[in-house]
Amino acid sequence: MNQLLMQWFEVPPNLVDQAWHIVLQRPWPTWLQALVLPALVLAAWWSYVGLRGPRLARGALGALRVCTLVLLAWLLMGPAIEWPRERVEQDRLQIVVDRTMSLQVKDEHDAQGARCSRDERIRGILRDPVWSALRTEHDIGWFAMTSGATAMVDPSVPPDATGRHTLVATALHDVLRQSGNHPISAIVLLSDGRSQDTVDADMIRRLKEQSAPVFVVPLGDPAGVADRAITEVEFPQRAFPKDRVPVQVTVSSGDSAPVRVALRDRLSGAVLDERTEQPGADRRLHVTLTGDRSSAGEADWEVALLPEGQDADASNDVRAVSVTFMDRPLRVLYVDGWPRWEYRYLKNILLREEGVESSVMLLSADRDFAQEGTAPLARLPATKEEFAPFDVVVIGDVPGGFMDDARQRLLREHVGKRGAGFLWIGGERSTPGSWVGTPLEDLLPFRGSLDLVRWDEPVSMQPTALAQRLGLLQLEDGEQSWPAALGVPGEPWSHLEWAQRMDPAQLKPTVETWATAQSIDASAGKRVTSAPLVVSMRFGAGSVAYVGTDETWRWRHGRGETLPERFWVQIIRHLARNGLRNDASGPTLEVEPAFAAVDQPVRVVLDGSAGIETDQVTVEARRADGGDVIEVQLKPEGGGRYATAWSAPREGAWTLHVTQPVVPGANSARLDVRSEEPERVDASPDHASLQRLAEATGGRVLAPSEIGELAQWAPRRSVTIRMPIDWPLWDRWPVFALLASLLVFEWIGRRLLRLN
């Protein structure tokens, strides 16, 4: 019967066997229906009450008229067959997981109580069974948060915690945008709260408008475990055997406890140097470690923070150090004017020093005097090729007119373009006063009058912090301190009876002071005043140093040759290392410094490629993980050198090599780039801001151990959406047939009863 009825109303076959009911598409209000129905009955009664005929027959005909009128009123309300269709739209529980570098800090504890990183704690939370229970009642969306929120495909394998910025407000904005018009049950934020933006009142208002409370799961220990990190390492990439190579280390510390820093061999683990220092008020410390190697080859070292208590993040405690020791001697040209005491001992120091090849010339010697050194010269070099072998040129108390202008210009070019070292040793006769107006005047570290006055009293030498940082003037075994005997007032034999007094106002802007002269009041035995005594500056590609005394030979009376030998050898070796990039052994590609921060400019230099004639050299910079490849264009600087400044856009280990044109024998250079974003500088958690966010949005603060309670607190905001199928009846033939039948039966009845 049901199927026959459905066929009469022409219902589609796929709906025939489904449950249905009758609805009115244009229903009248109940009060109107209550008025219309009695009115229809009254109208039908009134139409038959005055007629003559059998009462029962008139009542039957009146009932037919009531049915006809009610049917018409029903058709006016749009009757239809309705098949109910409903869809329940689940609310969304949006889970936002912090994936920034601060999560690498080890100040959390896992479920067993063992210390772990914040990232490891988050991964444990993501494995909690509460998420399976929540999935039955909510749609769960997973987002990784760094400088925004991006969808996570598989929460069991979250992205690495390497984000450089935490932007909580931006992440919440992204979550709301991606939620669209779907109802939100809650937003769950797993983070340490360290954010570089602020959740303002406008964001709180938007969260409230969408009824999206924020449940926060704070990570990290507010009391904190201090993080000690190596933030910067500087060292020469090339050196000579026997060099005391300085490795300058900058360490940031989360507390004021002493920090142990060591330089060690990566293969053997042998400690080459070690220091324990106290951080300053800014929680940073600068340490210079030194290492050496007796033979040529590649030194594979590393700087490491030795374990002292707990460290929040061990990933930043080690930095690689790679130094190439040259397979040739250090070559020195020493020229002095007369056989003063300093000359006698310095030329002997150069003769004794292993790995140094020296050529020594004394200008005041007789014609038949045999010039000294391991490689004696009959005359001064006169061509660029003759100057080229020397790594350092030492000029003592020599008259400026002794060398002709051509030689001086060659020597200035040797320093400025080839990167050789140049050392002046002041003298009371000629240096520096006689060099006014000569081509080598540019290599003097002061300007104005070159007639330096003599100190009126004996002085003591005192190194500066810069010298200590460069690994210079370290005259004690195993210590960086200056010997107390050389201090003020010091021992009488340590006093320098003659020294030049440099006016700091006359020093050129780029000059650095390695040591000062401290005057001594003989009666009081204390320091009176001081002035620069040993200074240095850059000149083009090379380095220049000036020593304003020739009396270090006096130190022999206290310790023998040890003190003056270490003083001069350290300075000469330091000056020589700057020119190693121009070594004639082949083209070299170098990056200075070898360690840098993201977006920090570094200098990329290709040297020793004099045979190449091109407008530019292309160097390819490739990140170790293969994610970035960048071309760097080097411009010619003359003398076979190509260079430019470049900054790496991302942290990581970068390898640079020449791609165009082909440079046979050119090496690859390495650049280690670290991020100095706030995530590394300060990773302390900010639980207070997370609590304020939860309270402002009607959420809650759940400890990591309370994550199972989330199913209890997450509200249900699912929405049921009705999408019924309606089949109108007012225009179907069975309805018209019923209406016609009622009218016909009433008409026939009236005719039979002869009612008018």
User: Tell me, what's the pLDDT at 112?
Assistant: 78
Cα–Cα separations (whole angstroms), residue 188 to 55, 95, 192, 360: 78, 5, 13, 77
C-alpha count within 13 angstroms, C-beta hemisphere, residue 356 = 27
Kindly report, residue by residue over 356-377, the tens digit of the pLDDT.
999 999 887 655 555 778 888 8
The one-letter amino acid at 457: E
Structural domains in the chain, CATH included, are: 19-85+725-753 (no CATH), 89-224+686-720 (3.40.50.410), 228-325 (2.60.40.10), 330-451+507-514+532-581 (3.40.50.880), 586-679 (2.60.40.1930)
pTM of the complete model: 0.64
**640-645 mean pLDDT:** 84
Q: How confident is the model at residue 8 (pLDDT cuts 50, 70, 90)?
A: low
**726-741 mean pLDDT:** 80
Q: What average pLDDT is seen over the chain?
A: 84
Strands 228-234 and 238-239: what pairing?
Answer: unpaired
Kindly report, residue by residue over 678-708, the tens digit of the pLDDT.
666 567 788 999 999 999 999 999 998 888 8
Q: Locate tokens 């397979």: which residue?
A: 327
Backbone angles phi, psi at 393, to 5 degrees: -115, 125
Cα–Cα separations (whole angstroms), residue 741 to 9, 153, 258, 728, 748: 17, 66, 107, 21, 10
Least confident of 85-99, 160-174, 429-443: 85-99
**Cα–Cα distance measured from residue 541 to residue 391, given in angstroms and rounded to the nearest whole number:** 12
Q: Locate tokens 């609805």: which residue?
A: 23
Q: What is the SS3 assignment for 511?
A: coil
Q: How far is CA 434 from the centre of its chain?
A: 52
Our CA angle for 26, 29, 33, nearest 5°, is 100
664 with 612: CB under 8 angstroms?
no
Kindly report, residue by residue over 267-293, the tens digit of the pLDDT.
888 999 998 888 888 788 888 899 999
Kindly report, residue by residue over 218-228, the tens digit of the pLDDT.
998 877 666 78
User: Tell me, what's the pLDDT at 586?
Assistant: 64
Residue 137's CB: how many other CB atoms inside 10 A?
15
Structure tokens at 395: 């000029």
Our CA angle for 494, 495, 496, nearest 5°, is 115
Residue 312 in this model has a pLDDT that exceeds 70: no
Residue 579 in this model has a pLDDT that exceeds 90: no
Residue 33 in this model has a pLDDT that exceeds 50: yes
Least confident of 5-19, 20-34, 400-414: 5-19
Q: What is the SS3 assignment for 377?
A: coil
User: Tell me, what's the pLDDT at 1?
Assistant: 52
Kindly report, residue by residue over 583-625, the tens digit of the pLDDT.
545 677 888 877 777 878 888 888 776 667 788 888 889 887 6
Find the helix or strand (DSSP H, E) in which 395 lies: strand 392-395
Residues in contact with 566: Cβ distance below 8 Å, sequence separation at least 6, in sequence order: 474, 475
Q: Which of 312, 266, 277 is nearest to 115 (CA)?
A: 312
Q: How far is CA 227 from the centre of its chain?
A: 16
Give the single-character DSSP code of 163: B
- Where is mean pLDDT largest: 54-58, 176-180, 264-268, 635-639? 264-268
Least confident of 60-64, 173-177, 452-456: 60-64
Q: Which of 111, 114, 242, 98 is nearest to 170 (CA)?
A: 98
Residues in contact with 583: Cβ distance below 8 Å, sequence separation at least 6, in sequence order: 238, 326, 328, 608
Torsion sign over Cα 527, 530, 534, 535: positive
The two most distant CA atoms of the chain are separated, in Å, by 170
**Cα–Cα distance measured from residue 444 to residue 422, given in angstroms and rounded to the nearest whole number:** 10
Torsion sign over Cα 194, 195, 196, 202: negative
Ramachandran bin of 712, using left for φ above 0, alpha for ψ from -120 to 50, beta for the remaining angles: alpha
Q: Locate tokens 């749609």: which residue?
A: 139
Q: How confident is the model at residue 526 (pLDDT cuts 50, 70, 90)?
A: low
User: Tell me, what's the pLDDT at 308?
Assistant: 63
Structure tokens at 319: 């930095």
User: Tell me, what's the pLDDT at 575?
Assistant: 94
Q: How confident is the model at residue 351 (pLDDT cuts 50, 70, 90)?
A: very high
Least confident of 113-122, 332-341, 507-516: 113-122
User: Tell me, what's the pLDDT at 427?
Assistant: 93
Residues in contact with 693: Cβ distance below 8 Å, sequence separation at least 6, in sequence order: 168, 189, 199, 214, 216, 699
